[in-house]
Amino acid sequence: MQLFRAQQVADRRAFIRKLDQDSKNELDKLQARHLAEQKDRERKYNDELARYVAEQKKASELMREIEEEQRRKELQKENGPEPPDEGK
């Protein structure tokens, strides 16, 4: 009977070690998956940020062009039409 109980204790300890190892493996997999997801989110965020900055830069350039065109038209109204080029 004691041999049987000793075997049960040994089996129980082996089972607990296996459960602990399985749990550790699952946690390692979960951590790796979370790190990969975080890396992907950061990449997407950086891509979106770069796109946004580029769009803002382009919008600013277009606004400057529009404002310059408006100033040129206002000056032309104030000064009258430019004389035609004579050698062309």
Task: Considering only CA atoms, give the Rg of the chain.
Answer: 37
Question: What tens digit of pLDDT does each residue of 52-66 get?
Answer: 999 999 999 999 999
pLDDT band at 77 (very low <50, low <70, confident <90, very high): confident
C-alpha to C-alpha distance for 48 and 37, rounded to whole angstroms: 16
